[in-house]
A = this chain, B = another copy of it.
Amino acid sequence: MSTQAERLARFAAELRFDAIPAPVVRFTENLLVDWFGSTVGGQGARPVQSIARFVQTMGPADGASEIVARGRGSSPWGAAMANAAASHVAEQDDVHNGAVFHPATVVFPPALAVAQAVGASGRQLIAACVAGYEVGIRVGEFLGRSHYKVFHTTGTAGTLAAAAATGSLLGLDGARMRHAFGSAGTQSAGLWEFLRTAADSKQLHTAHAAGAGLMAAYLAQDGFTGAADIFTGAQGMAAGMSHDADPARLTDGLGERWATAETSFKWHASCRHTHPAADALLAVVRQHGLQPGDIAQVVAHVHQGALDVLGPVVDPRTVHQSKFSMGTVLALVAQFGHAGLTEFEREYRSAPTQALRERVSMVLDPEVDAAYPRRWIGKVTVTTTDGRSLHGRVDEPKGDPGNTLTRDEIAAKALRLAAYSGTVAPADLQRALDRLWQVADWPRTPWLLERA
């Protein structure tokens, strides 16, 4: 049976803090803090509240695992579900470009919930999270572009990431981790169809991935078995959900290549597919000192995945849907220099935004498409009202590994997200951030905020 599944499972099971290079540990701390900001920022959203209510109705009334910013606990399953829903709604959580996969929102929620429940140290928590990132990213890369055309990779590969992180904290050996992968992969799900009507499924996908992956690991701990080769088997994930799966990606550079540290932070509060063009437009606007009124037309030169995901969104009716509208994002950037939560909330359907939105189109660009998903190149052509044709380009959008955020920028982003949601007082949030930066020294994983 699959050497890949076996090797990947053994790696996830055996990864220890001391084996992780210090820069990767520091980077993981950054990812954790960035995730925390997104979680706090998302807690007030209606779909997130629905999922939190569901787990509180179905789960215990309280528990050892924190539902962040709600001051209440739940079982590990309930907290993982609620926090995973919360951290993906603001579209501010991290992304791995090559895998087109958002790791934080499916890794940290189950890892934190289980670490709190079992009393794991901060170093065990970090090792578990890195295991989750390394596994989830490789599964996303393995499933390939054809998968992403229909499936939300964060939901599908996310079940494996959640299983790896949970399994690490539960002390699964390689054989049981492989069973956990089998049980996770056979629950793997998440379809893009919801985008067409701006439905709430994105939060359900991350919650489901976190909950199903966590369950897979708990079951494996109890001796429950899963497919030996859920990835490349004749009736496995690739057979069912991909036409271009690449098995070699599953174990690519295991233990040497740290995919975790390739993760990008999001700067704009929109779908990542809009960011390269947004930064390219920003470059043009700044270089030429353009005002919104100077812009007659913008053509964004994009990869096919951007057309697949953003293409159907032609008339966004909600804030969330507008984050998948290239026209809206570029219109906000042209007006405000940044497409943040506040800009979306206040301006996504303003008359100037809609007027600019109508002047934006997308075309498939062979160079951009060939580089994707390894590199997310941004290219725009702006036609000005006085007839000039201006070209903008960025090779790494802000937040990518070569253009990453500083710790100050990450903390500031978290504070902005908390302020936006209004669920946590700034002083409480600052205390939580101070605590989070010390994660590697925690003897026992604490709650991040206080109980109500």
Binding site for B on A (CB under 8 A): 1, 46-47, 50-51, 53-54, 57-61, 75-78, 149-151, 155, 179, 182-183, 185-201, 204-205, 208, 212, 215, 218-219, 222-230, 233-237, 239-241, 312
Contacts A46-B223, A59-B59; is A233 near B186 (CB within 8 Å)? no
Known A58-B78, A218-B57; judge A186-B191 contact (CB<8 A): yes
* A159 to chain B: closest residue by CB: B189
In the complex, the count of this chain's copies comes to: 2
A147 to chain B, nearest CB (A): 9
* A46, B225: Cα distance in complex, Å: 10
Q: Are B212 and A200 in contact (CB under 8 A)?
A: no
**Is there contact, CB below 8 Å, between B234 and A193?**
yes
7 chain-A/chain-B pairs, Cβ below 8 angstroms: A1-B196, A60-B61, A191-B227, A199-B225, A199-B226, A201-B225, A201-B227
Question: Is there contact, CB below 8 Å, between A219 and B191?
Answer: no
The answer to whether A228 and B241 touch (CB under 8 A), given A186-B189, A189-B189, is no
B186 and A228 form a contact (CB under 8 A) = no
Chain B contacts for A77, CB-based, 8 A: 58
Most B CB atoms within 10 A — which of A57, A234, A240?
A: A240
Q: Is the CB of A58 within 8 A of B46?
A: no
Closest beta carbon of chain B to A133's beta carbon, Å: 23
For the complex, what is the distance from the CA of A344 to the CA of B197, rounded to whole Å?
50
- Bound-state Cα–Cα, A58 to B218, Å: 10
Q: Which residues of B contact A196 (CB under 8 A)?
A: 1, 227-229, 233-235
A237 closest partner in B (C-beta): B191
Q: Which residue of B lies closest to A47 (CB)?
A: B224
Could you say which residues of chain B place their CB within 8 Å of the CB of A190?
A: 186-187
With known contacts A183-B204, A186-B201, A240-B151, A193–B230 Cβ distance under 8 A: yes
Query: Which one of B182, B188, B223, B225 contacts A189 once the chains associate, using CB atoms below 8 Å?
Result: B188
Choose one: B75, B182, B194, B222; the contact of A182 (CB below 8 Å).
B194
A191 CB contacts on chain B under 8 angstroms:
185-186, 227, 230, 235-237, 239-240
Chain B nearest CB from A188 CB (Å) reads: 6
| A220 smallest CB distance to B (angstroms) | 9
With A and B bound together, what is the CA distance between A419 and B205 in angstroms?
Answer: 41
Which of B58, B189, B226 meets A201, CB within 8 Å?
A: B226
Among A60, A179, A191, A199, find the residue whose CB has the most chain B CB atoms closer than 10 A.
A191
- 5 tightest Cβ-Cβ pairs between the two chains A and B: A192-B235, A58-B77, A193-B227, A150-B240, A193-B236
- Complex CA distance for A187 and B187, rounded to whole angstroms: 8
The answer to whether A183 and B197 have CB atoms under 8 Å apart is no
B222 touches A53 (CB 8 A): yes
Interchain CB contact under 8 A, B50 and A229? no
Contact B219 A54 (CB under 8 A): yes
Instruction: State how many angstroms separate the Cβ of A15 from the closest Cβ of chain B.
Output: 24
B58 near A224 with CB under 8 A, answer no
In the complex, which residues of chain B have a beta carbon less than 8 angstroms from the beta carbon of A205? Answer: 186
Q: For A218, list chain B residues within 8 Å (CB).
A: 54, 57-58
Asked whether B187 lies within 8 Å of A208 as measured between CB atoms, the reply is: yes
What residues of chain B lie closer than 8 Å to A230, measured between beta carbons? 191, 193
Is A194 in contact with B58, judged by CB distance below 8 angstroms?
Answer: no
A235 touches B193 (CB 8 A): yes
Once the chains bind, are A50 and B219 in contact (CB under 8 Å)? yes
Report B-chain residues with C-beta under 8 Å of the C-beta of A229. Answer: 193, 196
Of chain B, the residue at the smallest CB distance from A202 is B186
- A227 — which chain B residues lie within 8 A by C-beta? 191, 193-194, 196-197, 199, 201
Given the interface pairs A191-B230, A193-B186, A201-B186, the reply to whether A223 lies near B1 with Cβ below 8 Å is no
A220 and chain B: residue at smallest CB distance: B50
Chain B nearest CB: distance from A2 CB in Å?
10
